[in-house]
A and B are shown apart, each in its own frame.
Chain A
Amino acid sequence: MWSWVAHRITGVMLFFFLFAHVIDTAMVRVSPEAYNTAVETYKNPIVGLMEVGLVAAFLFHGLNGVRVILVDFWSKGPRVQKQMTWGVLVVWVVLMVPFAIRHLANVFGGGS
């Protein structure tokens, strides 16, 4: 139940971000300066933390989506759906930890 709720919430988050992301990328058609100003926002530390949240949302939505597919199409899927929920969380942590370390080091550490 909660993973169903989380799937909807993360889905809506990702969809609204997608709109913003297409529009900020569209600045490449205006001028290099306009685009560079737009992506500069993403390098701000507070936005950098929100990006970790966004990647967390994407990874959960994608991994839980694989679980939904397995429940729907794999004959044993419905029986092991609970174990697969734990699998989703384990893989999510395994991917999130290196990403968070790398990304936060980029956002808060060196670089220009």
Chain B
Amino acid sequence: MTAPTMAAPRTKSNRTSSNFELNSWLFMRGSGVLLLVLVFGHLFVNLMLGEGIHAIDFAFVAGKWANPFWQVWDLAMLWLALLHGTNGLRTIINDYATKPNTAFVLKTLLYFSTFVVLVLGTLVIFTFDPCIDPSSTLDVCQTQ
């Protein structure tokens, strides 16, 4: 019977070296700081100013997305929040799903749903049409 072998300390692992975990660790911190600003601004403008939540309707969204500033803001928030959250859930799955098959299934579901929501959200921001209703009374739809 042979004793189990153990690599000497500080020998290079034979796995292909990848900086993915380091990069995702850095991404969590960078995106986290940006999201704090983006989500804080989003909540302040939508819930604290004016009539707060009562002001939010189709016309409110049309007014905001008429301005490229808010389109970029919301797009950045969408991508950063989804990637930040997906990486967070990936970490949680790695920590708690002890069976490799369970972890694989959960991560597949996670990546698939993130992809769907990311594409959906991006398309909504870029293809938004304030005059989708032909009888719209919004100002932007009156000049056509």
Contact = CB atoms under 8 A, between A and B. Distances in A.
Contacts of B62: 28
Nearest to A22: B121
Contacts of B33: 65-66, 69
Give the bracket for the number of chain B residues in contact with chain A: 35 or more
B117 A19 contact: yes
B54 A28 contact: no
B127 A29 contact: yes
B48 A102 contact: yes
B137 to A, nearest CB: 10
B41 interface: no
B61 A28 contact: yes
A35 B136 CA distance: 14
Contacts of B81: 14, 18
Given A39-B56, A99-B47, 9 more contacts: A15-B88, A18-B117, A26-B120, A32-B59, A51-B47, A62-B40, A99-B48, A106-B47, A111-B51
Interface of A: 8, 11-12, 14-15, 18-19, 22-23, 25-26, 28-29, 31-32, 35-36, 39, 42-43, 48, 51, 55, 58, 62, 65-66, 68-69, 72-73, 99, 102-103, 106-107, 111-112
3 A-B pairs with the lowest CB-CB distances in the bound complex, closest first: A111-B54, A106-B52, A15-B85
